[in-house]
């Protein structure tokens, strides 16, 4: 922030933005009295922020106005939240106190502002140097814990914070790069999954696109240009697709509207990464949304009416049965309800169609705020029960005093990021459980005693082990024995936090001695590898061994379900071994962060005197030309990751002050970085010769490994090779793609 006298133009732009917000707020306020509070909040904040400017040079007041605009338009909150959004920076950035706000605006608005002020304070706090004791925690993780704890107080604080984060991301180009990387990593790690879980799809999508625009700018620009071009070229085809649907629905008497949409750049990019496909292979780029007014007097349920529309439109176009998704009968845990199907247009384009009532659309667009509104008006659908159940589960986790900050952050992140499936009891009752859960997780979901006495399960009438992984639609019966009891090995495959905790609590009597034994065993094993026991290393170990907490890691080592006997050989002989990976990725011997004074740009590969040593992270293997971020250890070594690397996202989100800005040096011809490319196509005689000749003789690139297999006339495989830049790699991919028989060449993770 900076201070300078406002000009006439500054006052005009503030007044212009306020008039837009005022018009939106008037529609949301129930009375003139409520609108008067919003007006008073604007006047107070406008005076408090007078002559204060943001990094961009614009008047600071434009920021709280923009946040309030998101609060009312995109989230649908009421006058107290709009007022709190206008006031959210007053206590932090001016001489006014929370008590001043309370005296002028009442206790509820003051409480919201206080919660937002605390979140801002903890997010802006830099970590201090600390020792290496196992019990010490990441301050940034503690900060997130405080943010998430506001879910127990008033969820509106988190909703307003999401609006604040969205506007800050919209203007993030004015931030220095290391701050930008920290903010975007926090956003991807916590705020985007949180927006998704709270049903705020518009905010989630915009945050995702901003993340991609700065993390992978070339990919974002290319995909956006393709989408824009396709939208222009195919616009008339979409109109032709919609026209007969509109005519048919009018004849049936439905009151409706149809919205057209095309996939976002991030959504297309994500699918390309996950499926290892090209943009041209993303077939579900188009979608239409049919939003209709449910007839409460027709005798049909909302789901019946959705299927009525489905029957009408599938009488016009052929649909893909395997792509039918009934989120009306089985709502998502964030309350989302809709019937999805995919239709084939007359021009050969697959189009996703989403069928929703007006109520469903409100909840889909404005999430939990709309959920509250309908609940207050006496309507409670299946989606609302799911939302309440999820919030209750989160509050239970947050209220657990035994969970430390880092454990809590991992638990909440995993819960936010996880996908849920729906399964059924023997009586046909539906239950929601996280994707990847086992039959034993389900047993504990039903009741603690059923889990404790479980010995096997029947899934769809077939006898399976308790470790059997469930899938959507499974019908599960748990088989118990009177003398059954929890087993130590269950911790190897239990997935849900609740089930893990119950099993570990069962063995609590011997827990203290087991934990101490596990601690000593781990310390000895790490010492033998030349690694010190410190906080970042312990975090990575927890993830490597799929432990839900620090205590669980030590406990499982203590009881022997995690064995460390082979780690010495793994670390010594394999660069992909867990400890070797940890060594290369972390390069951190304590939690002492890099000082703020080291925020200059670091040139990777510089031979200048005093230049730091660089290490390339083996989790993502960046090469020159990739957008990268770095983490600086106390000894000065810098580890380089791709900006989109999940490991880097996790580290930056929980230890943001380790982030530095690295830049690639012009690489010498003899420098080499290991990459892997995947090849698929039609097998033919001489194909292997053509591939190896081009790679070795034409491009003069060293291959470390080539693995191809053919079956039924098709082949697939990969090549590990050393290149000195992304340009060389992309040139090679283009040329290999032109070889007869090769259908697809893509870069993949090692």
Verify that 633 and 542 share a domain, yes or no.
Answer: no
Does residue 300 fall inside a structural domain?
Answer: yes
The burial class, CB within 10 Å (0-12 / 13-18 / 19+), for 408 is: buried
In the structure, what pLDDT confidence band is assigned to residue 621 with cuts at 50, 70 and 90? confident
Question: Which residues have a Cβ under 8 Å from the Cβ of 112 and sit 6 or more positions away?
Answer: 80, 81, 84, 154, 156, 157, 160
Kind and range of the H or E run holding 99: helix 98-105
> At which of 664, 684, 715 does a domain end?
664
The burial class, CB within 10 Å (0-12 / 13-18 / 19+), for 462 is: exposed
Q: Look at residue 573 in the predicted model and tell me its pLDDT.
A: 36
Q: Look at residue 577 in the predicted model and tell me its pLDDT.
A: 40
Counting residues of the chain whose pLDDT is more than 90, the rounded percentage is 34
d(C-alpha 100, C-alpha 86), whole Å: 15
The dihedral formed by the CA atoms of 407, 408, 410 and 411, expressed in degrees to the nearest 10: 110
Q: Higher pLDDT residue, 271 or 528?
A: 271
Q: Bridge-partner residues for 708, per DSSP?
A: 717
Question: Which residues have a Cβ under 8 Å from the Cβ of 44 and sit 6 or more positions away?
Answer: 87, 90, 104
Residues 706-729 as b or e (16 or more Cβ within 10 Å = b): bebeeeeeebbbbbebebbbbebb
Residue 349 in this model has a pLDDT that exceeds 50: yes
Residue 35 in this model has a pLDDT that exceeds 80: yes
Q: Bridge-partner residues for 722, per DSSP?
A: 674, 702
In the structure, what pLDDT confidence band is assigned to residue 128 with cuts at 50, 70 and 90? very low
CB 197 within 8 A of CB 367: no
Residue carrying structure tokens 């937002």 = 116
Verify that 280 and 189 share a domain, yes or no.
Answer: no
Verify that 244 and 321 share a domain, yes or no.
Answer: yes
Does residue 444 fall inside a structural domain?
Answer: no
d(C-alpha 671, C-alpha 103), whole Å: 66
Kind and range of the H or E run holding 422: strand 420-424
Verify that 134 and 249 share a domain, yes or no.
Answer: no
Task: Reduce the DSSP state of residue 335 to 3 states and report it.
Answer: coil
In the structure, what pLDDT confidence band is assigned to residue 237 with cuts at 50, 70 and 90? confident
Residue carrying structure tokens 């489905």 = 310
How are the residues of the chain apportioned to helix, strand and coil, as percentages rounded to the nearest 5? Answer: 55, 15, 30
Verify that 650 and 683 share a domain, yes or no.
Answer: no
Residues 33, 38, 39: CA angle, nearest 5 degrees: 90
When pLDDT is averaged across residues 698-713 and rounded to a whole number, the result is 87
For residue 354, what is the domain's CATH number? Answer: 3.30.460.10
- On the CB side of 549, how many CA atoms lie within 13 Å of its CA? 20
Verify that 649 and 693 share a domain, yes or no.
Answer: no
> At which of 586, 619, 640 does a domain end?
586
When pLDDT is averaged across residues 612-638 and rounded to a whole number, the result is 82
Mean confidence (pLDDT) of the chain? 81
d(C-alpha 710, C-alpha 719), whole Å: 15
> At which of 350, 383, 416 does a domain end?
383
pLDDT in tens, 461-481: 899 999 999 988 889 999 999
Residue 382 in this model has a pLDDT that exceeds 80: no
Q: Look at residue 749 in the predicted model and tell me its pLDDT.
A: 81
Does residue 498 fall inside a structural domain?
Answer: no
When pLDDT is averaged across residues 343-354 and rounded to a whole number, the result is 90
DSSP per position, 129-150 = P----TT---HHHHHHHHHHHH
Verify that 224 and 160 share a domain, yes or no.
Answer: no
d(C-alpha 314, C-alpha 10), whole Å: 55
Does residue 716 fall inside a structural domain?
Answer: yes
Verify that 182 and 222 share a domain, yes or no.
Answer: no
Residue carrying structure tokens 């690139």 = 701
Range of the domain at 78: 2-197
CB 407 within 8 A of CB 549: yes
When pLDDT is averaged across residues 384-388 and rounded to a whole number, the result is 55
Highest mean pLDDT among 501-510, 630-639, 689-698: 689-698
In the structure, what pLDDT confidence band is assigned to residue 599 with cuts at 50, 70 and 90? low
Q: Look at residue 565 in the predicted model and tell me its pLDDT.
A: 55
Residue 143 in this model has a pLDDT that exceeds 70: no
Residues 466, 471, 475: CA angle, nearest 5 degrees: 70
When pLDDT is averaged across residues 32-44 and rounded to a whole number, the result is 96
d(C-alpha 478, C-alpha 88), whole Å: 51
Q: Look at residue 589 in the predicted model and tell me its pLDDT.
A: 32
Q: Look at residue 245 in the predicted model and tell me its pLDDT.
A: 96
Where is average pLDDT lowest: 414-418, 533-537, 705-709?
414-418
Residue carrying structure tokens 């002050």 = 657
Q: Bridge-partner residues for 720, per DSSP?
A: 676, 705
Q: Look at residue 401 in the predicted model and tell me its pLDDT.
A: 55
Q: Look at residue 48 in the predicted model and tell me its pLDDT.
A: 93
- Sign (positive or negative) of CA dihedral 692, 694, 695, 697: positive
Instruction: Provide the 10 A C-beta neighbour count for residue 16.
Output: 11
Verify that 610 and 537 share a domain, yes or no.
Answer: no
Verify that 243 and 379 share a domain, yes or no.
Answer: yes
d(C-alpha 487, C-alpha 453), whole Å: 10
Phi, psi of 49 (to 5 degrees): -100, 15
Counting residues of the chain whose pLDDT is more than 70, the rounded percentage is 79
Q: Look at residue 509 in the predicted model and tell me its pLDDT.
A: 59
**Alpha-carbon distances, residue 432 vs 91, 149, 743 (angstroms):** 42, 24, 40
CB 191 within 8 A of CB 162: yes
In the structure, what pLDDT confidence band is assigned to residue 652 with cuts at 50, 70 and 90? confident
Highest mean pLDDT among 64-68, 318-322, 332-336: 64-68
pLDDT in tens, 170-193: 999 988 888 898 899 888 887 888
Q: What distance, in Å, lies between the first and last C-alpha atoms of the chain?
A: 44
When pLDDT is averaged across residues 277-305 and rounded to a whole number, the result is 87
Q: What is the CA radius of gyration of the chain?
A: 28
How many domains does the structure of the chain reveal? 5
Does residue 138 fall inside a structural domain?
Answer: yes
DSSP per position, 644-668 = T-HHHHHHHHH-GGGEEEEEEPPPP
Task: Reduce the DSSP state of residue 391 to 3 states and report it.
Answer: helix
For residue 6, what is the domain's CATH number? Answer: 1.10.3210.10
d(C-alpha 267, C-alpha 412), whole Å: 23
Verify that 229 and 150 share a domain, yes or no.
Answer: no
Enter the tokens of residue 305: 């009416």
Does residue 494 fall inside a structural domain?
Answer: no
Report the length, in residues, of the chain.
Answer: 750
CB 173 within 8 A of CB 184: no
Residue 134 in this model has a pLDDT that exceeds 90: no
Residue carrying structure tokens 């009741």 = 447
Verify that 369 and 224 share a domain, yes or no.
Answer: yes
Residue 289 in this model has a pLDDT that exceeds 80: yes
Does residue 528 fall inside a structural domain?
Answer: yes
- Sign (positive or negative) of CA dihedral 514, 516, 520, 522: positive
Q: Look at residue 598 in the predicted model and tell me its pLDDT.
A: 41
Where is average pLDDT lowest: 43-57, 262-276, 341-355, 638-652?
638-652
pLDDT in tens, 357-370: 998 888 887 776 66
Does residue 496 fall inside a structural domain?
Answer: no
When pLDDT is averaged across residues 287-292 and rounded to a whole number, the result is 94
Where is average pLDDT lowest: 8-12, 399-403, 437-441, 497-501?
399-403
């Amino acid at each position: 922030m900076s201070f300078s006298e406002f000009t006439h133009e500054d006052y005009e732009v503030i007044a212009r933005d306020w008039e837009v917000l005022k018009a939106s707020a008037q529609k949301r306020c129930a009375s003139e009295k409520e609108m008067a509070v919003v007006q008073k909040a604007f006047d107070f904040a406008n005076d408090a922020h007078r002559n204060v400017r943001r990094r961009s040079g614009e008047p600071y007041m434009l920021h709280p106005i923009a946040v309030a605009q998101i609060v009312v338009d995109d989230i649908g909150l009421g006058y107290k939240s709009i007022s709190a959004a206008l006031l959210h920076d007053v206590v932090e950035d001016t001489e006014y106190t929370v008590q001043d706000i309370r005296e002028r605006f009442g206790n509820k608005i003051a409480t919201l502002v206080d919660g937002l002020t605390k979140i801002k304070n903890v997010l802006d706090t830099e970590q201090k140097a600390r020792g290496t004791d196992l019990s010490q925690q990441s301050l940034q993780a503690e900060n997130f814990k405080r943010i998430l704890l506001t879910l127990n107080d008033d969820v509106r604080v988190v909703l307003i914070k999401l609006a604040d984060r969205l506007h800050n991301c919209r203007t993030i180009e004015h931030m220095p790069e290391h701050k930008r990387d920290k903010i975007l990593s926090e956003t991807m790690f916590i705020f985007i999954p949180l927006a998704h879980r709270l049903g705020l799809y518009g905010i989630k999508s915009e945050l995702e696109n901003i993340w991609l625009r700065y993390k992978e700018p070339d990919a974002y620009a290319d995909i956006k240009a393709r989408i824009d071009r396709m939208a222009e070229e195919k616009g008339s085809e979409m109109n032709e697709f919609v026209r007969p649907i509109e005519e048919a629905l009018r004849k049936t008497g439905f009151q409706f509207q149809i919205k057209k949409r095309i996939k976002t750049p991030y959504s297309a990019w994500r699918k390309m990464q996950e499926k290892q496909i090209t943009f041209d292979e993303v077939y579900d780029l188009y979608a239409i949304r049919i939003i209709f007014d449910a007839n409460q007097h027709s005798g049909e349920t909302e789901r019946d009416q959705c299927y009525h529309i489905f029957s009408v439109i599938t009488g016009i176009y052929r649909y893909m049965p395997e792509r039918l998704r009934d989120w009306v009968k089985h709502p998502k845990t964030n309350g989302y309800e809709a019937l999805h199907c995919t239709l084939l247009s007359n021009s050969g384009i697959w189009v996703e169609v989403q069928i929703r009532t007006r109520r469903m659309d409100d909840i889909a667009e404005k999430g939990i705020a709309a959920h509250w509104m309908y609940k207050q008006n006496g309507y409670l659908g299946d989606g609302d029960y799911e939302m309440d159940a999820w919030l209750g589960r989160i509050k239970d986790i947050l209220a657990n005093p035994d969970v430390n900050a880092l454990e809590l952050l991992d638990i909440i992140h995993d819960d936010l990021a996880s996908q849920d499936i729906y399964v059924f009891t023997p009586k046909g009752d539906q239950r929601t459980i996280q994707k990847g859960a086992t039959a034993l997780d389900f047993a504990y979901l039903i009741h603690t005693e059923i889990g404790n006495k479980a010995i096997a399960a029947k899934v769809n009438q077939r006898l399976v082990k308790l470790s059997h992984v469930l899938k959507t639609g499974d019908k599960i019966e748990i088989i118990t024995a009177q003398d059954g009891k929890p087993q130590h090995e269950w911790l190897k495959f239990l997935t849900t936090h609740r089930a893990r905790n119950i099993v570990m609590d069962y063995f609590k009597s011997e827990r203290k001695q087991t934990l101490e034994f596990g601690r000593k065993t781990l310390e000895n094993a790490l010492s033998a590898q030349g690694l010190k026991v410190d906080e970042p290393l312990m975090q990575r170990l927890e993830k490597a061994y799929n432990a839900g907490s620090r205590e669980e890691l030590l406990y499982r080592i203590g009881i022997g379900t995690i064995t460390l006997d082979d780690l010495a050989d793994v670390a010594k002989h394999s660069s992909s071994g867990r400890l070797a990976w940890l060594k290369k990725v972390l390069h951190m011997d304590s939690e002492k962060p890099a000082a703020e004074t080291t925020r200059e740009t670091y040139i990777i590969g510089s031979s200048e005197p005093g230049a730091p040593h660089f290490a390339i992270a083996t989790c993502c293997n960046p090469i020159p030309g990739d957008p990268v971020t770095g983490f600086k250890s106390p000894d000065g070594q810098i580890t380089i990751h791709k900006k989109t690397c999940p490991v880097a996202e996790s580290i930056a989100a929980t230890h943001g002050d380790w982030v530095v800005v690295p830049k690639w040096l012009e690489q010498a011809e003899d420098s080499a970085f290991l990459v892997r490319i995947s090849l698929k196509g039609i097998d033919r005689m001489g194909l292997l010769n053509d591939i190896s000749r081009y790679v070795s003789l034409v491009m003069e690139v060293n291959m470390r490994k080539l693995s191809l297999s053919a079956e039924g006339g098709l082949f697939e495989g990969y090549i590990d090779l050393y290149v000195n830049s992304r340009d060389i790699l992309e040139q090679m991919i283009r040329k290999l793609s032109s070889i007869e028989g090769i259908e697809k060449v893509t870069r993949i993770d090692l």
